[in-house]
Amino acid sequence: MKYGETKKVLNQLVADLSQMSMIIHQTHWYMRGTNFLKLHPLMDEFMDEINDQLDVISERLIILDGAPYSTLREMAEHTGIKDEPGSYDKTMAEHLAKLLEGYRYLEALYQKGIEVSDQEQDHSTQDIFIGFKTDIEKKIWMVSAELGNAPEIDK
């Protein structure tokens, strides 16, 4: 199967980006406290970026003759990003830490995609992975800074 490993990573990203979108929604809906007025609208921007990545990733999978997951059941069964019920009892820092965890997971998955697409000589997909990994690293930096921490990208 041509680009078999690349297609596996692409479909994994379909599930994980869908889950990450829901994590961001949850943060958006359940946040309360300091910086609410700043962070609430920022979550809209975060959701837009993840949804844009999801569309590009899904379309690239289709271009490679793959079949993206397209049901909630498939997303839930295949995502590597843990979910938990929303709660108003969580602090803003706890909500942001959950986002950071998801972004770190996506960064690692994009890195895997960079490596497998290089091995399979699919440089067009590799370019997508590199660009989106860079975008995710920026989110890691931003959320980490909001939490008073360094981004620690090399971890």
Domain range summary for the chain, segments of one domain joined by +: 4-146
Residue whose tokens read 């920022």 = 42
pLDDT of 155 strictly over 60: no
pLDDT of 153: 85
State mean pLDDT over 22-51: 95
How many Å apart are CA 97 and CA 8, to the nearest integer? 28
- For 34, counting Cβ atoms within 10 Å of its Cβ (0-12 exposed, 13-18 middle, 19+ buried), the class is exposed
Amino acid at 132: F
- The answer to whether domain 4-146 has CATH 3.90.230.10 is no
